[in-house]
Structure 1
Amino acid sequence: MNWLRKVMNGRYGVDQLSIALLVISVILTIVGIFPKVHVFSTLAIIPMILCYLRIFSRNIRKRYEENQKFLNFWNPIRNTFKKKAERSKDKAHRLYKCPKCGKTVRVPKGKGKICITCPICKEEFIRKS
């Protein structure tokens, strides 16, 4: 294990962009195997090579900047999926949009028809919970 530390000394290492490149490479390989279209398997080599070039690079500042650009692109997408997953976990409440201002209002399920008051614009509307 000591030899690996010596090799990686002064190198950039693994980050989120490197992991994403490896995932893309694996996906392209799997897609290329099933329909027996070897173009995808051949294209899978490109992100894998880029990943290893990034991992063993000595230009740490540039690799860090590349990773930050990737995270600026990826984080809004990831947060959108996280929010949707969190909403689907809540089985005890329903979400309604206010017809006036569009604010999302959370109300408990199983109460029948209820009058919902928007906390922002104070608009009242009736919905089944």
Structure 2
Amino acid sequence: MRDKLVRFMQGRYGVVSLSKLLVGVGLVSVVLSMFIKGNLFYYIGWVAIIYSYFRMFSRNVTKRAVENQWYLDRTYKIRCFIAKKKNQMTQSRTYHIYKCPSCKQKIRIPRGKGKIEVRCPKCGTSFVKRS
């Protein structure tokens, strides 16, 4: 059965970022339509889901790749911001992150070392902080 699915999907575009977004928007819209009167969200949701499946099974790979690249270009700043915040959250568990008072360079200090003197690698300013 798996081989049949693999053969069926050969030459087709498959699941990418834009298709995942469309499915998510479609599902949220359909669920939202249960709580809001009117059929607008219901139809928008199903159109988004159907279009995402059309994209997944499409054999016009170049056109789908251009559409996906357009989406990735438009969401680049948002995705970088989210990745940066996620990285900061993981680092904040094991490190304190301070800014140098003179040059505003971010400096990472390991937690649990008590009061330590920190020397900025960029400008050489020394200051005392709790870790």
Is residue 90 of structure 2 the alignment partner of residue 93 of structure 1?
A: no
RMSD of the TM alignment (CA)?
2.5
**TM-aligned CA distance change 1:9 to 1:85, over 3 Å:** closer
Alignment of 1:30-109 (within 5 A): 30-36=31-37, 38-90=39-91, 91-109=93-111
- The more displaced of 79-88 and 112-121 is 79-88
Return the offset for 1:18.
0.9
**TM-aligned CA distance change 1:52 to 1:92, over 3 Å:** closer
> What amino acid is the match of 1:118?
C
Match of 1:122, SS state, is: coil
> What amino acid is the match of 2:123?
C
Q: Residues 65-95 of structure 1: CA distance to partner in whole angstroms, max 9, x if unpaired?
A: 1112222333443333233223223323100
Q: Which runs of 5+ in 2 are unaligned?
A: none
Q: Following the alignment from structure 1 to structure 2, what is the Cα–Cα distance between the partners of residues 108 and 8?
A: 49
Q: Following the alignment from structure 2 to structure 1, what is the Cα–Cα distance between the partners of residues 44 and 94?
A: 46
Q: Following the alignment from structure 2 to structure 1, what is the Cα–Cα distance between the partners of residues 110 and 15?
A: 45
Is residue 35 of structure 2 the alignment partner of residue 27 of structure 1?
A: no
Return the offset for 1:26.
0.9
Return the offset for 1:33.
2.0
- Percent identity, please: 37
**TM-aligned CA distance change 1:39 to 1:112, over 3 Å:** same
> What amino acid is the match of 1:27?
V
What is the aligned length? 129
Q: Which runs of 5+ in 1 are unaligned?
A: none
Match of 1:99, SS state, is: coil
TM-score w.r.t. the length of structure 1 is: 0.78
Return the offset for 1:4.
4.7
